[in-house]
Each structure stands twice: as structure tokens, then as C-alpha cells.
Amino acid sequence: MDFKDRFYLILAGIFIASLVSCNLIFQKFFTWTPFGIYTFEISVGILPYPITFLVTDLISELYGKKKADQVVISGLVASVFVMGIILIADAVTGAEWSPVKNDTFHAVFGLYGPAVFASMIAYLTAQFIDIRIFHFWKRLTKGKHLWLRNNGSTIVSQFVDTATVLLLLCFAGAIEWSRFWTLLENGFLFKVIVALLDTPIIYGVIYALKGKIDIAPYQEGLANEGS
């Protein structure tokens, strides 16, 4: 296995780990006021989630659209598998001497149906939009202006992701409609800030890999548009 294949496996591993952890920790919320300017009220599940978009952008840039689509599907399979394991673990009765009691385990890891369904639908929609917008801009600029396709694709897809999951949760009755706009503003603004901050990271990774991994040609996205 050459360096290019090994690095792809590393990126895929980071992607899947970030995605799965989102669904494990999303029930805790926190507040954050950077520089005293704006107060965010968001789930801790949002912390690792932007990493998934950074990784798909890196894979899109280095390996092409097909490989990016593959890692998105792999992430979905991994998430469903882990959730199945958690459902089984939550269903079995804990021993009397178990350090973690049944109620505590359920409160932390118990999966709330509408939340999980909304998360998976939003995830698939946003990731596939991200990959396609990324390659659209890559073809349009003929492989130039990485910052444009990195931020453009991520910001649009993050808005779709945030809006989709909140709409589904509101329709399911899991969240009150009165909180929709506040949560949309908080979640989307936080993701935009992270998207802008990860631009130097993607440039740094691409620079560090120069001579080790060839960047996928911008025509590749067009050739595989129908796949």
C-alpha cells in the first residue's frame, strides 16, 4: 500500500470517527461567547461535525468526487452500525454492581428516534451537496482558487444541513417551532466561522503533500457527474 492509499484511509478514519462521535454526544448543549460579541447556544455534537466537511473537501481535492462519495456512504454505514450496537447495549439490563446504571446509560446514550432520523437525512443531503458544489467550482475555476470551493461548498452545505435537521425535528415535535430561527442562526453562524478557520488547514495539508499526492484533475468531476 503506497502513501496515497494510506493517507486516504487516515482521512476516512477521521471522517467516520467525527461523524459517529457527533451522534453520541449531541444531547449535551453549551454556551460560548467569543470575545463577548455573540453568545452561541449549541450542541456539543456540532464540534466534530465541521471536520467531516473539511475531510470531504480534502478527499475531493486529492482523490476526486467518487472517493468522496464513497467515504460519505461509509460514514452512514458506520453510524447505523454504531447506533444498532447502542440500542442493544441500552436494551440489556445492567448488573446491580455495574458502575453505570441503566438510567444513566440511557440518559447519555439513549437514541431519540426523530433526532437520529433527522441527523442522517441532513447528513446525506448536506455531504452530497458539498461534494458537488466543490467540484462545480473546481471545474469552473479550472482547478484554481481552492479557498473559493472550500468555503463556498461548505457554507452552502452547512446551511442545508442545519436547516434540514431543525425542520425535521420541528415537524416531529422534538423541538418547538419558536426555537427554530434561534437554533438555525446559532448553528449556521458557528459552522461558517469554523469553515473560514479551516481554510488555512486545507491549504497547509495540500502544501505538505506536494510531491507525494497528485491533486485530482478538475475535469474528473465533470466526467463522473452522472455517477
pLDDT at 9: 96
- Which one, of 205, 227, 215, lies nearest residue 128 by Cα? 227
Does 117 score more than 50 pLDDT?
A: yes
Does 177 score more than 50 pLDDT?
A: yes
pLDDT at 220: 60
Contact 88, 28 (CB under 8 A): no
The mean pLDDT value for 184-199 works out to: 88
To the nearest 10°, the Cα dihedral for 73, 195, 169, 181?
Answer: -160
**Residue 74 Rama label (left phi>0; alpha psi -120 to 50; beta):** alpha
Burial grade of 217 (CB within 10 A; 0-12, 13-18, 19 or more): middle
Helix (H, G, I), strand (E, B) or coil at 40: strand
Mean pLDDT is lowest, of 67-76, 140-149, 168-177, 187-196, for 168-177
The mean pLDDT value for 46-61 works out to: 92
pLDDT at 99: 94
Q: How far is CA 158 from CA 11, 123, 155, in A?
A: 20, 9, 5
The mean pLDDT value for 3-27 works out to: 92
DSSP 46: G
Mean pLDDT of the chain, nearest integer? 87
pTM: 0.86
Residue 27 CA, chain-centre distance (Å), reads 16
Q: How far is CA 94 from CA 24, 88, 208, in A?
A: 20, 12, 49
Contact 205, 8 (CB under 8 A): no
Specify the CATH number of the domain 3-222.
1.10.1760
Does 224 score more than 50 pLDDT?
A: no
Contact 160, 129 (CB under 8 A): yes
Name, in order, each residue with C-beta under 8 angstroms of 207's C-beta and a sequence gap of 6 or more.
Answer: none
DSSP assignment string, 60-73:
HHHH-HHHHHHHHH
